Structure 1
C-alpha cells in the first residue's frame, strides 16, 4: 500500500516537471505544480508562482496547503536558459538565470523545510542537468546554476 503524499513540483507546466507531475498523479498522489504561465497536467493543482519572488512562493504554498495539505515532497525543477557566448552575455542575462535556477531553488527549499521539519517528514528532489557537470558552449550562466 502506497502512502498518498502531497507533492509540489516547480515548473510543472511543461517538460520534465509536467512528466513528473503526470507520474505522481498516476501513482495516486495529490499534486500541485507552480507555473508562471500555462497549466499542469489534468489532475494537478496549478498555482501561479515566480520562484525568484518570496512573496509569490508564500502565496503559492498557502494555496497548496489550504487545498491539498502540507507539502511532503518537493521537486525543485523550475529553471530557465538565456544562452549566449560569455563575451556577449549581459549581466542581466547571467543574473536572471542564476537568480531563477539557483536562487529560486534556495527559496523554494527554504519555504518547504519549515513544514517538513514540523511534520518530521519530507523529501526534496533538486533537478539538475548534465550541463552542470560538463558545461556547454554559450551556457556559462546555466551550467554554473545547475
Structure 2
C-alpha cells in the first residue's frame, strides 16, 4: 500500500512541476544540463573523450584496426559500437552479460553516428572486398 501512495505522491509532484515548465532538478523543460568535454582522455585509444553531462560521466574510446569489410559492403569500412553500463554508476545496472538497456544504448549510439554521417565508411576502405579499417567505438557510462 505504501508503494502505491509513494508512486501517487511522486506522480502528483511531477505533474505539478510539468505544469510549471520545470524538471525535477529545477531546470526548465527546455534547459540542458551543463556539459563539458575533455578530448584525448585515454592515451591508449586512437581517439577518446571524457564527457560530463550534469552529474553523468561518460568515457568514450575509439580504436582502429585493419580487417576485412563485410561481404554486403565491400567498399566500406566497419563500424562497431559497444555501450557498457557500469554497476557503480547506477543501482539498476548489474554486472554480467550486456543487458537489454546496454544493447539498446549501443544501437542508439550506432544510429546517431551513422545518421549524423560523422564517419564516411567508404573512406575506411583500403582494398575493396579485402581490407578495410574497423572502427570500434566503446562508450562507458560511469
Give the structure-2-normalised TM-score: 0.26
Name the larger-Rg structure.
2
More strand as a share of residues:
2
Asked which structure has the greater RCO (Cα within 8 Å, sep 6+), the reply is: 2
Q: Please identify which structure carries the higher helix content.
A: 1
